[in-house]
Every structure is written in structure tokens, then in C-alpha cells.
Amino acid sequence: MSYAVKEIFLTLQGEGVHAGRRAVFLRFAGCNLWSGLERDRSSAVCQFCDTDFVGMDGENGGRYEASELATKAAELWGEGGEHRYIVITGGEPMLQVDDTLVEALHARDFTIAIESNGTIATHPGIDWVCISPKAGSEVVQRQGNELKLVWPQTGSDTEVMESWAFDHFLIQPMDGGNAEANQANRAAAIAFVDSHPKWRLSLQNHKLLGLP
């Protein structure tokens, strides 16, 4: 099988428990909760997406076989086989991730992290599972390393989420697209953590740092 890749590049992980870590980012094209087209946003299950995952026209984007993709990731990482870390994201990466890709990346010594909306069970070979639930969708992947909830999200049942088997529970202010909305969302996230100490704040550091 070949994979539809929007972009693949070297950067630092910007958010979540591994914020600041050197990482290859592999963004797959396509999502099951929104077409990615603005005309469909208001009728989509997920309406606050801040990511362009449509097509294959990003940095190093295109169609790849598993071995080609693993080779590209290793090339982007550069010298040194230790500490290799790849974040597979999207869109919804579990629409495409399979045994062949996981094996090819492990064969290149990558530790594999995934960022998924949790509506499709994640591949068991993945080393770090980060799930970001979207209100109105059914999360089937209820265990993993990191649950990262974008906030505020009307309709999210955080009490139910607290019963899921994650090591870390994170609240991340929604990118509202303008300074005023962002300030309000940050305040809402801080207030949430203040009253729910199981959760802690995650910030999108890459946006502050000008990283992709």
C-alpha cells in the first residue's frame, strides 16, 4: 500500500508531554471528522481544526511506499540512530497507519508517537499514544499515554474521560484564530486546571516559537 502524505519535516514537538523534543513530523492527508474544506467546516463533526491536511502539496509531500517513507524520515533526522523520534499525525493518521509502516519505522530505529482523534483504535506497535478527543465523535481508543483535550469544547465529558486509562491528562487552549479569542481560551483552560488538578496545561509552544 502507498500512503498519502501531506508533509514530512524535522522540527521540535511543540505541545504535550514531549514538548521541546526533536522530532520528525509525518502528517498524513485526510481526516474522518472534517473534509478539510472551509465550505464543509460548519457541518463537520470537528469544526475548530487549525491544520491543513488536504492534499499532498506540503514539504516533502506526496505518495510514498512504507520503505520510502522510513528512508525519508531517517534522511530528515540525519546523523545518529539514537533518540530517533517520529510523530505521526494528520488529519487522522489511523486512516493509513498499518503494520508495514510501523515495522519500517522501527527498522530505522524510530520511536513512534501518534496524535489521533481516537475514533479508530491505534496500532498496537506505536510507542507513544496521544489522543485528542473531539466532542460529538465516539472515542474508541480509551487508553494510551496522553489524553490532550482542546479547550473549551462544549459537549466534552471530562468526568467520563478521567476514567479512561491514560498516564497524563492535558488541557490545551483552543486556537481561536485571533488574540481576543485566544486570551479567553487560555483563561478558560487555566480555570479548568485550577478546579481539576488531575489535568495540566499544555501550550502550543511551536506557535510561540515560530516553528512549523
Note whether 30 and 46 are within 8 A (CB).
no
Q: Binding string, 97-126, against ligand SF4, x = CB under 6 A?
A: --------------------x---------
Asked whether position 33 contacts ligand SF4 by CB under 6 A, the answer is yes
Q: Which residues are catalytic?
A: 25, 31, 46, 49-51, 115, 206
DSSP secondary structure string, 102-128?
HHHHHHTT-EEEEEE-SSSPPPTT-SE
Asked whether position 6 contacts ligand SF4 by CB under 6 A, the answer is no
Looking at 4-12, 84-92, 103-111, 166-174, which segment touches ligand SF4 (CB under 6 A)? 84-92
Asked whether position 158 contacts ligand SF4 by CB under 6 A, the answer is no
Looking at 21-29, 85-93, 168-176, 189-197, which segment touches ligand SF4 (CB under 6 A)? 85-93
* Total of chain residues touching ligand SF4, rule CB under 6 A: 12
Asked whether position 49 contacts ligand SF4 by CB under 6 A, the answer is yes
Q: Of 14, 16, 90, 133, which lies in the binding site for ligand SF4, with binding defined by CB under 6 A?
A: 90
Q: Of 5, 8, 46, 113, which lies in the binding site for ligand SF4, with binding defined by CB under 6 A?
A: 46
Shortest approach of ligand SF4 to residue 26 CB, angstroms? 14
Number of other residues whose CB lies within 10 A of the CB of residue 57: 11
Q: How many Cα atoms occupy the beta-carbon half-sphere of 54 within 13 Å?
A: 10
**CA-CA distances (angstroms) from residue 95 to 17, 86, 118, 119?**
24, 17, 11, 10
Nearer Cβ to ligand SF4, position 67 or 182? 182
Number of other residues whose CB lies within 10 A of the CB of residue 138: 9
User: Among 206, 175, 7, which residue's Cα sits nearest to residue 90?
Assistant: 7
Q: Which three cell numbers stand for residue 112?
A: 513512534
User: What are the residues whose beta carbons fall under 8 Å from the beta carbon of 177, sequence distance 6 or more?
Assistant: 50
Residues that bind ligand SF4 (CB under 6 A): 31, 33-34, 46, 49, 51, 53, 90-92, 117, 134
